Amino acid sequence: MEVKAISIQLLDDKGWEEYFYLSNCKNQENYDSNEWLKFKKDRLEQYEQAPADFKMNEFLLTYDGEAIGWLSYTSGNKYISFIFDTKFEEIPDIIIKDLLGKVFEFIVNIRKEAAFFWSKNSSMSIKLKVLGAELIEESKDEENICQFNLTKEFLKNYLRKR
């Protein structure tokens, strides 16, 4: 088993509802079960209207057939930036390894040397700090969002050890 990244452009309705929930409602008890339809429409319109030199990609992450989170990245001429969130408060090591493997694949395929990586998941941030990832910024508010610079070399070394 491994983490699969499914492009939102390929999601069926069940996938869109899971993506909406993980993106917007995971900490809410109640939400309008039809809001995901507007969310889907808005997201797909963003893709169509994005400038040609700005790539935006969003993925539903699944593990063993279960939706576990999402990963989004944007890339321009000089950079690639990832944003990630998951349903896990404590992310299992296998999920972290697979996720960082996906990030590495995207960096290589887009021919970049590094990527900015944002996460508000504290277990992901702690793991990246312990692994020695370069911490660029850490918010001090309740969001607790951390930004890291993940180089291709850092990711290659991490994945080689696993």
* DSSP structure string for 24-81: IITT-S---TTHHHHHHHHHHHHHHHS-TT-EEEEEEEEETTEEEEEEEEEE-SS-EE
Q: Is the pLDDT of residue 131 over 90?
A: yes
Those residues with Cβ within 8 angstroms of residue 5's Cβ, 6 or more apart along the chain or in another chain: 59, 60, 61, 71, 102
Q: Considering the domain 3-161, what is its CATH architecture?
A: 3-Layer(aba) Sandwich (3.40)
Angle, alpha carbons 161-134-141 (nearest 5°): 125
Question: For residue 99, is pLDDT > 60?
Answer: yes
The per-residue pLDDT of the chain, averaged, comes to 87
Question: What pLDDT sits at residue 26?
Answer: 60
Percent of the chain residues topping a pLDDT of 90: 55
What is the C-alpha to C-alpha distance for residues 122 and 52, in angstroms, rounded to an integer?
A: 34
Q: What is the CB-side half-sphere exposure of residue 101 using CA atoms within 13 A?
A: 15
Amino acid letter for position 77:
N
Residues constituting the chain: 162
The pLDDT of residue 130 is above 70 = yes
- Distance of alpha carbon 81 from alpha carbon 147, whole angstroms: 10
> Exposed/middle/buried for 131, CB within 10 Å: 0-12, 13-18, 19+?
middle
Mean pLDDT lowest among 7-11, 33-37, 38-42, 117-121: 33-37
pTM (2 d.p.):
0.86
Distance CA 156, CA 161 (A): 9
Two structure tokens written together for 34: 């039809």
* Residue environment code for 86-101, b if the CB has 16+ CB neighbours within 10 A, otherwise e: bbeeebeeebbbbbbb
Task: Name the residue ranges covered by the structural domains of the chain.
Answer: 3-161
Question: What are the tens digits of pLDDT across the range 39-83?
Answer: 899 888 887 887 766 677 899 999 999 999 999 998 877 778 999
Q: Does the pLDDT value for residue 28 go beyond 60? A: no
Q: Which two tokens stand for residue 12?
A: 């069926």
Residue 27: which pLDDT band, with cuts at 50, 70 and 90?
Answer: low
